[in-house]
């Protein structure tokens, strides 16, 4: 058993990491709250004093605020639906014995290690360019007019790009969960005459519920702050302006740090609301 001395020594050794982590989180949050109550224009007069909740009112009453929130939620929902469904299918496929299984798994997981900016540039120039992209040549081959993806189908394009990047993460988590499934259950069900769909619905899918919950929670946290893909591809045009991009415009393009900080506080509130909602809906699977 751990003694009082050993517990004290453990706390002492953990203290620097805990202090660093708290500072890393609390200092930016405190500064964001501080500037959200001030009118601070770095290139147009600097600190112009306290304005109270004026920045919050201006940001939430902006004509771009609610559309940006809706766009953010649409992208998050679309990416989650695609990555979870395809992740389950890919995980089942990769779990089957095949030649070169290890290499196939590496190739499937590889896109997750590509930087978001690089991924967006590759999709924008190599695949979605209406003149020279691979998809444009495919359309022309079948006699159809190439689609200008980033203007005519902007939101689906963003969802496609982000899904391609996050699908390997979902596949990896779900593949690990499938490999922990007791094969004797599936063999027994097969011997009893249960078809493949029923074995999937009554055995495999319930076993994956906790892994799916983890995928949804982790991806949602990161997807709510999606920025790089939009900055590189559409620049927030054609209805793709998310809340993070709106904050970027207020801070860097409009040089209004106070207004952008108020937007940052709204982003934190939105992230917490979504996280609490998800935890209430699917978080109970973690205790199962």
Q: Which residues contact 168 (CB under 8 A, 6 or more apart)?
A: 108, 109, 110, 111, 112
Three-class SS of residue 182? coil
Break the chain into its structural domains and give their ranges.
Answer: 65-240
Is the pLDDT reported for residue 3 higher than 70?
no
Q: What is the pLDDT of residues 37-78, one digit of tens each?
A: 888 777 766 777 788 888 888 888 888 888 988 999 899 999
Q: How many CB atoms lie within 10 A of CB 46?
A: 10
Q: What is the pLDDT of residues 179-220, one digit of tens each?
A: 877 777 767 776 767 777 777 777 777 778 888 888 888 888
Q: Helices H, strands E: what count in the chain?
A: 14, 2
Task: State the alpha helices, DSSP H only, in 95-182.
Answer: 101-109, 116-122, 134-141, 149-152, 154-179
pLDDT band at 1 (very low <50, low <70, confident <90, very high): very low
Q: What is the pLDDT of residues 230-243, one digit of tens each?
A: 988 888 888 888 88
> Which of 3.40.50.620, 3.40.50.720, 3.30.457.10, 1.10.3720.10 is the CATH number of 65-240?
1.10.3720.10
- pLDDT score recorded for residue 205: 79
Q: How far apart are CA 101 and CA 113, in angstroms?
A: 19
Tell me the chain's radius of gyration from C-alpha atoms.
24
- pLDDT score recorded for residue 159: 92
Is the pLDDT reported for residue 9 higher than 70?
yes
């Amino acid at each position: 058993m751990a003694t009082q001395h050993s517990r004290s020594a453990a706390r002492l050794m953990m203290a620097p990491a805990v202090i660093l982590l708290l500072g890393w989180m609390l200092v930016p949050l405190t500064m964001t709250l501080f500037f959200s109550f001030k009118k601070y224009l770095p290139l147009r007069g600097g600190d112009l004093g306290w304005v109270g909740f004026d920045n919050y009112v201006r940001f939430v009453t902006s004509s771009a605020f609610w559309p940006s929130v809706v766009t953010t939620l649409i992208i998050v929902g679309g990416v989650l639906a695609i990555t979870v469904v395809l992740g389950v299918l890919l995980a089942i496929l990769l779990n089957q014995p095949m030649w070169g299984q290890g290499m196939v798994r590496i190739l499937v997981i590889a896109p997750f290690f590509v930087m978001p900016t690089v991924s967006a540039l590759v999709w924008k120039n190599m695949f979605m360019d209406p003149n020279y992209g691979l998809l444009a040549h495919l359309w022309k081959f079948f006699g159809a007019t190439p689609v200008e993806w980033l203007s005519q189908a902007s939101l689906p394009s963003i969802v496609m790009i982000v899904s391609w990047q996050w699908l390997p993460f979902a596949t990896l988590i779900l593949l690990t969960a499938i490999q922990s499934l007791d094969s004797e259950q599936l063999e027994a069900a097969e011997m009893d005459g249960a078809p493949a769909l029923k074995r999937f619905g009554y055995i495999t899918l319930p076993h994956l519920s906790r892994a799916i919950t983890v995928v949804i929670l982790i991806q949602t946290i990161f997807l709510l702050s999606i920025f790089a893909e939009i900055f590189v591809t559409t620049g927030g045009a054609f209805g793709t302006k998310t809340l993070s991009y709106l904050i970027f415009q207020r801070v860097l393009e409009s040089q209004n740090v106070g207004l952008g900080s108020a937007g940052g506080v709204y982003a934190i509130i939105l992230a917490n609301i979504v996280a609490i909602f998800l935890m209430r809906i699917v978080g109970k699977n973690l205790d199962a």
